[in-house]
Amino acid sequence: MTAIFNSTSQMMRQVIYALALGIIAIFTFFGWGVIVQIVLAVVVAIATESLFLKIRKRPIVPAISDGSAVLTAILLAVSIPSIAPWWVVVVGVSFAIIFGKQLYGGLGNNPFNPAMLGYAFLLISYPLQMTTWAGEFVNFSQAFEVIFNLSPADALSGATQLDEVKTQLALGKMMSEMSAHSTAQAWVNMGFLLGGLYLLIRQVIFWQIPSAFLLGIVVTAFFLSLSNSEHYLPVQNHLMLGGTMLGAFFIATDPVSASTTPKGRLIYGFLIGMLIVIIRTFGNYPDSVAFAVLLMNITVPLIDYYTQPRIFGKSG
Amino acid sequence: MLNTLNNGIVMTNPYPVDKVEIVQAPLPDKVVLPLQQRIGGEAIPCVAVGDKVLTGQVIAQTQDAFCVSIHASISGMVVAIDEQIIPHKSGLKSKCITIQSDGKDVWIERKNYGDFLHCSRETLIEHIQQSGIIGLGGAGFPTHSKLSKSLDCHTLVINATECEPGIMCDDALMQHYPREVVRGVEILLHISGAKQAIIAIEDDKPEAYQSLLMFNHNDKISLVQIPTKYTSGAEKLLIKTLFDVEIPSGGFATDKGFVCQNVATSKAIFDAVIENKPLISRIVTVTGDGVVPNNFAVRLGTSFAHIVALSKPDNKQHNIRMGGMMMGVDVATLDVPICKISNCIFVNHTRAKPHVQECIRCGQCNQVCPIGLLPQQLYWHAKSEQSKRAMDYNLRDCIECRCCDVVCPSHIPLVAYFSFAKALYHKQTREKHKTDVARERFEFREYRLERNKQERAEMMAKKKIELKKKMANDKVQKDKIAQAIARVKKTKQDKV
């Protein structure tokens, strides 16, 4: 049975609802920061998009109400550290909307995932702010003060597990000597996983990209840890740390910038998963969903052309 | 045994009725009969304005192999042969014959064929052509043309699926004329020489299935119920569902030994062969939220308005559509005639068109495409008028069923883009062909001029040489003369 959606906006709303569980998990463990970031991001996204639509002389209300800018904003807001200063999210969201989307002609025409383009831009430009995560629950006034630079972030901050593992490995420690587990991150990933399953059931997204994505991670991580289990993260940690589930169900499945053929989606998802593990392991940055997705975005036209489905009455 | 269609959409009749009836529509005051048919050239009238015609009389004919004869559907007088609006999406006018009814409906004397089993296949095929029968399912492909290619077919498929939601004229036909339908199928079996006939009915029409079952005593004919799903009635997809045979892209069902006929066509063939009645009427469903849905047996050429008026339309603004809600065409006015292919008239309240949003390549369209195309990619290329690229993505195989239109969350009229891209492609190929021919002609002319020039130059050079030779010869001669003169002079001087 095929799901019939009344509008593109309805699909976008479904995705936003599905993000709720993951956001609740982030909120539970890291506090109010994420809420402040989301509100800030959404406001900036709507403002930037409206401004650009005005410059481009396009109708503003229909484009804003399709929900795509809001979705981009929320995805970026949950990706960045919840205690990052306010200007990080402002710069990131406006970059995502302007350079990720509007300059290409708006929704449907962007070759790159706008949220991830914004994220990559931020990570390269402000590595310090982008890797300082909240180490504990942050209450509303603390979050407000830290984000708006009224008090220093140091007191609240801590590194992420992936970052920690990297540092430890660099110091020559073995996998068995440290704990690569993070309950908080596992819960956040679980939240996004459940939200993703909801999207699958509602047929907003199709199974190919998330499954191939996760399979790509599992296969690559499995072979790496098989080669040297003392040196590489085990499979389950790759799945439950960082932005894995958010990436698998919400980022890589952005239909505009993803491959659109059923077979192509499998290839696209698998290679993103593979790239994530490779960049996490050998790259300089702690997490790599953004880079993996952006790299694979480039290959989409090629994948789509060579993975056209067999059509009725034609062989091969 | 059955292979359910992979894609397509399950759709139920949006305007169901308790009991499927057929109402005999009263004779219209006048009928308008278009001369242009779906395929082939325009028929040439063999009556003139002022002529009296009888019901069933041939009024226009062609030599075109694809065309069938056109018959008067009522008796009366030809009052006009001129351009009239016909039910076509272009809304263009086409040449039509208008007959004013005398109210008597007097039939022309009909030739009797007797037992069809004694007639040869050629005789029957010609008779079908003479009786004006074309496919009544909606596409209007001439029946005789299909039958004449059916010589090597092993299976006759009777398409009684009626998969377009809302239409119920075939359902009504099967419930009210089961004997005629089955007999028609027997005639088709005789003509095609097929070993078996399968009547395929969607399982949302159990009454039709039962009534055919009751009248079918021929063990060559079997009835099959197939799951209700839109596009199951498309010829190639139906064959796939029934026999798991795929007709190759660009090929015909007859290539694989199947010949497909619509169930209403079968009844029309019964009328033509057994009753000797040409095709002058058909059953039309009138449905939609602006009327009380019903079926009408109506003479061809009757205006839409005539039968819509019988269906108790309400006073709201209506949107009129001929054919199915999926593949039909919108018509601008009710003042168009019912044609052989007019199986249904939708009278719906005019609604605001949904807001069209950008394509986000979500792929919902690809999920339902019965052919397995990628409408999202086709749209991308069609929108940017890259028709060649769209053809690379198999645009040619699109059957324009509009499943993708229905599921598109952005409400993009995809099929409209596709038919435009197809037309553009054909135009470009034609133009390219034209320019290719022109370029070749030009290049040949250049070559010819160059060649002439060269030939002339060579000739001139040759001539020059010859002339020189001749001149040289002349010089020798002149010298000889001069010498001779000199000699003579010398001898004269010597003498002196």
Q: How far is A314 from chain B (nearest CA, A)?
A: 6
Percentage of chain A beyond pLDDT 70 is 93
| CA–CA separation, B390 and B382 (whole Å) | 6
Check: CB of residue A286 under 8 Å from CB of residue A185. Answer: no
Q: What is the C-alpha to C-alpha distance for residues B392 and B10, in angstroms, rounded to an integer?
A: 30
Pair (A150, A205) in one structural domain: no
Q: Do both A148 and A259 map to the same domain?
A: no
pLDDT value at position B93? 84
Cα distance between residue B115 and residue B67, in whole Å: 26
Confidence (pLDDT) at A210: 97
Tell me the shortest Cα–Cα distance from B359 to chain A, in angstroms.
6
Among A126, A158, A190, give the residue marking a domain's end. Answer: A158
Domain boundary, last residue among A100, A131, A158: A158
Quote the CA–CA distance of A107 and B355 in Å, as a whole number.
15
- From chain A, the residues in CB contact with B249 under 8 A are 311-314
Contacts of A141 (CB under 8 A, 6+ apart): none
Read off the tokens for B4.
């359910």
Higher pLDDT, A208 or B475: A208
**pLDDT the model gives residue B14:** 85
CA distance A43 to chain B (A): 22
Q: Is B304 within 8 Å of B338 (Cβ atoms)?
A: yes
**Nearest CB to A311; choose among B249, B358, B362:** B249
DSSP states along B188-204: HHHHH--SEEEEEEETT
pLDDT-derived band at B62, boundaries 50, 70, 90: confident
Residues of A in contact with B358 (CB under 8 A): 8, 66, 106-109
Question: Do residues A238 and A117 share a domain?
Answer: no
State how far the alpha carbon of A192 is from the alpha carbons of A10, A95, A181, A237, B50, in Å: 19, 25, 18, 16, 80
In a domain, A171, yes or no: no
Residue A31 tokens read as: 């506090």
A272 and A211 fall within a common domain: yes
Interface test with B, best of A268, A300, A312 (most B CBs within 10 A): A312
What CA–CA distance (Å, rounded) separates A45 from A101? Answer: 11
Cβ pair A262:B366 closer than 8 A: yes
In angstroms, the CA B356 to CA B345 distance is: 26
CB contact under 8 A, B249 and A313: yes
Quick check: B358 and A260 CB within 8 A?
no
What residue has token string 């064959």?
B239
Q: Residues B140, B76: contact at Cβ < 8 Å? A: no
Question: Tell me, what's the pLDDT at A257?
Answer: 95
Asked whether residue A164 is domain-assigned, the answer is no
What's residue B4's pLDDT?
61
User: What's the confidence (pLDDT) of residue A154?
Assistant: 67
Q: Tell me, yes or no, whether A213 and A146 share the same domain.
A: no
Domains: count for chain A: 2
Query: What are φ and ψ of residue A35, in 5° steps?
Result: -65, -45
A30 and A145 together in one domain:
yes
User: What's the pLDDT score for residue B297?
Assistant: 95
Q: Does B373 touch chain A (CB under 8 A)?
A: yes
Indicate the DSSP class of residue B303: B
Q: How confident is the model over A184-196, as pLDDT tens digits?
A: 888 999 999 999 9
> Given this model, what pLDDT does residue B384 score?
87
Q: Which residues on chain B are in Cβ contact (under 8 Å) with A10? A: 409
Range of the domain at A240: 200-306
Average pLDDT, chain B: 89
What confidence tens digit (pLDDT) does each residue in B424-454 have?
898 888 998 999 999 999 999 999 999 999 9
Based on the fold, state whether residues A152 and A214 are members of the same structural domain.
Answer: no
Is pLDDT at A158 greater than 80 in this prediction?
Answer: no
pLDDT band at B7 (very low <50, low <70, confident <90, very high): confident
Q: How far is A257 from chain B (nearest CA, A)?
A: 8
Measured CA to CA, the distance from residue B172 to residue B176 in angstroms comes to 6
Beta strands B258-262 and B221-226 are: unpaired
pLDDT at A3: 64
pLDDT in tens, B482-492: 888 888 888 88
* pLDDT for residue B252 is more than 60: yes
Q: Is the pLDDT of residue A1 over 60?
A: no
The answer to whether position A113 is within a domain reads yes
Longest dimension (CA), chain B: 146
Give bridge partners of residue A158 from the DSSP assignment. A133
Q: In this model, does residue B91 exceed pLDDT 80? A: no
Question: In this prediction, what percent of chain B has a pLDDT beyond 90?
Answer: 48
Give the integer Cα–Cα distance in Å for B57 and B351: 43
Residues of A in contact with B396 (CB under 8 A): none
Confidence of residue A2 (pLDDT cuts 50, 70, 90): low
Q: Which residue of A has its CA nearest to B396?
A: A311
Choose the mutation target among B360, B393, B400 for the interface with A, i.e. most A CBs under 10 Å.
Answer: B360
Cross-chain Cβ contact A7/B411 below 8 Å:
yes
* Contact list, A311 vs chain B (CB under 8 Å): 249, 371-373, 394, 397
Token reading at B53: 């015609």
The nearest CA of chain A is from the CA of B290 a distance in Å of 23
- Tens digit of each residue's pLDDT (9 = 90 or more) over B154-173: 999 999 998 888 899 999 99
Asked if B153 contacts B257 with a C-beta cutoff of 8 angstroms, the reply is yes
Same domain, A72 and A135: yes
Residues of A whose CB is below 8 A from B418? none
| Residue B67 reports pLDDT greater than 90 | no
pLDDT given at position B118: 80
**Lookup: tokens for B115:** 């037992």
Tell me whether residue A116 is in a domain.
yes
Q: How many CA atoms lie within 13 A of B267 on its CB side?
A: 25
The verdict on residue A316 lying in a domain is no
- Residue B111's pLDDT is what? 72
Nearest-angstrom CA–CA distance, B379 and B35: 36
Instruction: Name the DSSP letter for residue B232.
Output: T
A66 interaction partners in chain B (CB closer than 8 Å) = 357-358
Mean pLDDT across the stretch B175-183? Answer: 94
Q: Evaluate if residue B1 carries a pLDDT over 60.
A: no
The per-residue pLDDT for range A171-187, each reduced to its tens digit, is 767 766 666 667 888 89
Find residue B329's DSSP bridge partners: B322
Confidence at B374, pLDDT banded by 50, 70, 90: very high
pLDDT of A94 reads 96
How close, in Å, is residue A133 to chain B by CA atoms?
33
Q: What mean pLDDT comes out for the span A113-127?
A: 94
Output the pLDDT for position B360. Answer: 92
Confirm whether A71 is domain-assigned: yes
pTM: 0.82
Q: Are B346 and B371 in contact (CB under 8 A)?
A: no
d(CA B344, CA B324): 6
Where a domain ends, among A142, A158, A174?
Answer: A158
pLDDT value, residue A300: 95
Question: Helices A114-125 and A289-306 meet at what angle, rounded to 10?
Answer: 140
- At residue A283, the pLDDT reads 85
Question: Does A70 share its domain with A144?
Answer: yes
At A6-35, the pLDDT tens digits run: 888 999 999 999 999 999 999 998 889 999
**pLDDT tens for each residue of A31-51:** 899 999 999 999 999 999 999
Q: Is A144's pLDDT higher than 90?
A: no
Minimum CA–CA partner of B237 in chain A: A312
pLDDT per position as a tens digit, B197-209: 999 999 889 999 9
Q: Cα–chain-centroid distance for residue B484?
A: 95
Assess whether A89 and A227 both reside in one domain.
Answer: no
| Secondary structure of residue B344 in the 3-state scheme | strand
Least confident window among A170-184, A210-224, B249-263: A170-184
Instruction: Write the CA distances from B319 to B5, B88, B322, B355, integer angstroms.
Output: 31, 15, 10, 18
Task: Give whole-number Cα distances, B379 to A9, A309, B148, B405, in Å.
Answer: 20, 16, 38, 11
Task: Look at residue A311 and tell me if it is in a domain.
Answer: no
What are the tokens at B77? 């007088």
Q: Which 337-366 residues of chain B touch chain A by CB within 8 A? A: 354-355, 357-364, 366
Contact B360 A106 (CB under 8 A): no
Task: State the ipTM, two decimals.
Answer: 0.85
Higher pLDDT, A132 or B215: B215
- For residue B327, is pLDDT > 70? yes
- The whole-number pLDDT of residue A259 equals 95
Q: Is A175 a domain residue? A: no
Structure tokens given for B41:
């050239």
- Smallest Cβ–Cβ distance between A7 and the set B237, B372, B409 belongs to B409
Give dist(CA B282, CA A171) in Å, integer. Answer: 87
Residue B472: CB atoms within 10 A of its CB come to 10
**Which domains occur in chain B, in start order?**
23-27+130-331 (3.40.50.11540), 356-496 (no CATH)
The runs of H, that is alpha helices, within B106-177 are 121-130, 143-148, 169-176
pLDDT at A207 over 60: yes
* A81 shares a domain with A12: yes
A220 and A91, same domain (yes or no): no
Q: What's the sign of the alpha-carbon dihedral B171, B177, B182, B188?
A: negative
* Whole-angstrom distance, CA of residue B388 vs CA of residue B391: 5
- Is residue B119 very low, low, confident or very high in pLDDT (cuts 50, 70, 90)? confident
Neighbours of B175 (CB within 10 A): 22
